[in-house]
Amino acid sequence: MTVKQRLPYYLIGLFFGIVMVFFFLDKKSAEFDYLPNARVLKSIRRKPQVFSSEALQVLNSNKIDSLSVYQILKNGNVDIWNKIKLDSCFQYNIQGRDRLKNIMLTVKRCDSIAFIEKITVD
């Protein structure tokens, strides 16, 4: 069998293989968090979040709801290069994207808890 004869069989098998992978992964709702930004955000989302009194005051005064904070913790930009190590915790600045671009969270990620220390609205 020549290459010209094998190529259609290969392409058909590749197509069905891709469709099967997307079908199974869609039902499983798998996430691929390999980049540092996504890994930090996922580890913060998995821990219970506690807001400081200053952060709650900013939330109430600017009428920011918890859904906006969740969106930032899901899709925000983490400043990985300027993280601060405090005892057993790391402190990160997370900037919102798109319509939440003017909101920045300062989050301290510890072993068992994520402490949202400060919320800055520009």
Backbone angles phi, psi at 31, to 5 degrees: -120, 140
The answer to whether the CB of 47 falls within 8 A of the CB of 113 is yes
User: Tens digits of per-residue pLDDT, 104-122?
Assistant: 999 999 989 999 999 999 8
Every domain of the chain and the residues it spans: 1-30, 33-121
pLDDT of residue 30: 67
Q: How confident is the model at residue 88 (pLDDT cuts 50, 70, 90)?
A: confident
How close are the terminal C-alpha atoms of the chain, in Å?
66
Q: Which CATH number fits domain 33-121: 1.10.510, 3.10.20, 2.60.40, 3.30.2310?
A: 3.30.2310
User: Tens digits of per-residue pLDDT, 32-42?
Assistant: 778 888 999 99
pLDDT of residue 84: 86
> The tokens 């890994």 sit on which residue?
39
